[in-house]
Structure 1
Amino acid sequence: MLSRVAPWLASRNENGLGVRVLGGADTLALRALANEDAVANVFILAHLESTGTAAPTSGGASVFGVFDGDTLLGACWAGANLVPVQLEPGLAGYVANAAHLTGRRYASIFGPAETVLALYARFEQLGHVAHEVRAGQPLLAISGGPVIGANPALTFGSMADFDRILPACAAMFEEEVGYSPFLGGQEFYSKRVAGLIRQGHSLVHIDTTGTVVFKAELGAVTRDVTQVQGVWMNPELRGRGQSAGYMAAVVNLSRTFAPVTSLYVNDYNTKARATYQRVGFEQVGTFATVLF
């Protein structure tokens, strides 16, 4: 990968800025950069807590860093998705060019809105056309417990219930992005769901009939912040005012990992936003997501 990025770097040397793939020696610098906003950067911070290194993974994911000399100015995770880390919008083109030159296909770009949209603007010039652009997604967080009562029925998922949890997760995914997560085969997504359950990051209420009533996952977890993803209420039970109690329970359970609970939501989802506000979440930023 480095060899394919290098020709582009050489053409940029005149302004002192360059892009390269980070290695193990860059771990402390990347962690310090990400900690400038621990809520917005929970994805990369969770990765660093898990692996202990900024070096490329065995699966081929890596982190691009934009440097001024030896100073790391911004970064971007490049795996199945692109996830900017404290990357100023004016530097997004450097990363977009480098990511394009790898020849890799990305499922999405997500993160702070201005930078994500700047990355996509350059990607679009390079021929990458999005399936959908969600330009405004409030980033919400709550520090401490919920301000309303929690539904005690929500608990951590168990592998014994995997065959019930997996279809609910797939239904949520299809509602959210418009296609099935099983399109390319069931194995990858099934492993992802199973991994979340085994880590204790799956939260679910299954009633006495074996029906999943509500579920959510902690998609990224650090010692300081969790990020909730995959919030889903069974369609047959929607509109009864139960979501807020379940989300309050999500906050309580997530606090067993970290004091701050976060999530991001589509700006047009007014019902969900109202629910999160009832629970005590407050907006701390704005994300965007580009789906390819």
Structure 2
Amino acid sequence: MLRTFGATRPLGTRDHDEVMRLCGHDPASSVFVAARVREGGLMSPGSAVGIDDDDGGLRSLCWTSANVVPIECDEVALDLFAGRLRRQRRRSSSIFGLADQVLPLWARLQRHWGQPRSFRPDQPMLAVSTLPSEAGLERHPGVRLARPDELDLVLPASTAMFTEEIGYPPYVGSDRDYRALVASLIDAGHTFVLLEDGRVVFKADVGSLALGVAQIQGVWVAPDRRGQGLATPAMNAVVEHVLQTLAPTVSLYVNGYNEPALRAYHGAGFRQVATFATVIL
């Protein structure tokens, strides 16, 4: 029998420890929110809402910034969060997270928020904790961290990846904000590249880092180098570096229909640990 919890409430910096505790129940699936909290995301009004249990501890939360991410939500929590989201003007670009929470949340919002740009209900979430070198997997020797002075080389690859994955470009007009985002990843040591003849032919970023998990995003191979066996050894090189220097677990999620990517990731030792879903708005 479902319990009835109180109303939702805005979360702020005072809730930092409780939010991190809740995310810690499943670090691999909650790393995006945990990383935003580590970066000070709770300082922004309206970034997240929560539901407390009878003892005053945080029971469920929903990240409600540029992305909507439900965490530890049952049917009652989804009803409450959906009611709050329906009442506010939609300002998010996507809803994503564990499929068993995203899909019922979207079912509650769809009539109010309209047709999405893209609906992706089956996205295997993969993880690996074994060094490729220990597993005897081939690593591409040319993959390395991007340097700050290579921003102009990385930016076109990042733009192409975003456009292919999301279906529209990351900016219209000035590239200033997107350029700053790409630069911040490079400056943090979170962007890996493989260059050939002065151009990027492989790229991957650590998009979120928290709770012992590094989530990879933005994986891209130049169109003329696809289907040539480049992705798997390049990913092995990324995983090797991340496991040695950043976190004991590397995760990512991928569209279930993307068989070439799934083959590459499985070849790099990744195994499915959950199923995500994404609604692009």
TM-score class, shorter-chain normalisation, is over 0.9
Question: 175-184 vs 282-291, which deviates more?
Answer: 175-184
Corresponding residue for 2:70?
Answer: 84
User: What code does the residue aligned with 2:185 have?
Assistant: L
Equivalent residue in structure 2 for 1:177, among 144, 149, 166: 166
Question: 19-28 vs 225-234, which deviates more?
Answer: 19-28
1:116 aligns with 2:115: no
Structure 1, gaps ≥5 residues long = 1-13
Deviation of residue 220 (structure 1)? 0.2
Corresponding residue for 1:6?
Answer: none
Structure 2, gaps ≥5 residues long = none
Deviation track 1:185-213 (CA, whole Å, cap 9, x = no partner) reads 42221111111111111111112x21111
| TM-score of the two chains, using structure 1 as the length reference | 0.89
Structure 1 residues 89 and 220: CA distance shift in structure 2, 3 A = farther
Corresponding residue for 1:9?
Answer: none
Corresponding residue for 1:215?
Answer: 203
State the secondary structure of the residue aligned to 1:17: coil
Structure 1 residues 238 and 64: CA distance shift in structure 2, 3 A = same
Corresponding residue for 1:279?
Answer: 268
State the secondary structure of the residue aligned to 1:55: helix
Corresponding residue for 2:50?
Answer: 65
Equivalent residue in structure 1 for 2:42, among 26, 38, 55: 55
State the secondary structure of the residue aligned to 1:73: strand
Aligned residues, how many? 274
Determine the C-alpha separation between the residues in 2 that align with 1:96 and 1:280. Answer: 37
Deviation of residue 129 (structure 1)? 2.5
Corresponding residue for 1:267?
Answer: 256
Structure 1 residues 213 and 92: CA distance shift in structure 2, 3 A = same
Determine the C-alpha separation between the residues in 1 that align with 2:272 and 2:101. Answer: 18
Deviation track 1:51-91 (CA, whole Å, cap 9, x = no partner) reads 3xx7342xx55111022342322101111111122223542
Determine the C-alpha separation between the residues in 1 that align with 2:47 and 2:85. Answer: 10
User: What code does the residue aligned with 1:278 have?
Assistant: G
1:20 aligns with 2:9: yes
Deviation of residue 16 (structure 1)? 3.9
Determine the C-alpha separation between the residues in 2 that align with 1:249 and 1:90. Answer: 44
Q: Percent identity?
A: 38
Equivalent residue in structure 2 for 1:98, among 60, 84, 101: 84
User: What code does the residue aligned with 1:86 have?
Assistant: E
Decide whether the 8 Å contact of 2:10 with 2:46 is kept in 1. Answer: no
State the secondary structure of the residue aligned to 2:17: helix
Corresponding residue for 1:43?
Answer: 32
| TM-score of the two chains, using structure 2 as the length reference | 0.92
Structure 1 residues 162 and 98: CA distance shift in structure 2, 3 A = same
Corresponding residue for 1:227?
Answer: 215
- RMSD between aligned alpha carbons? 1.8
Determine the C-alpha separation between the residues in 2 that align with 1:210 and 1:291. Answer: 34
Determine the C-alpha separation between the residues in 2 that align with 1:119 and 1:73. Answer: 17
State the secondary structure of the residue aligned to 2:7: strand
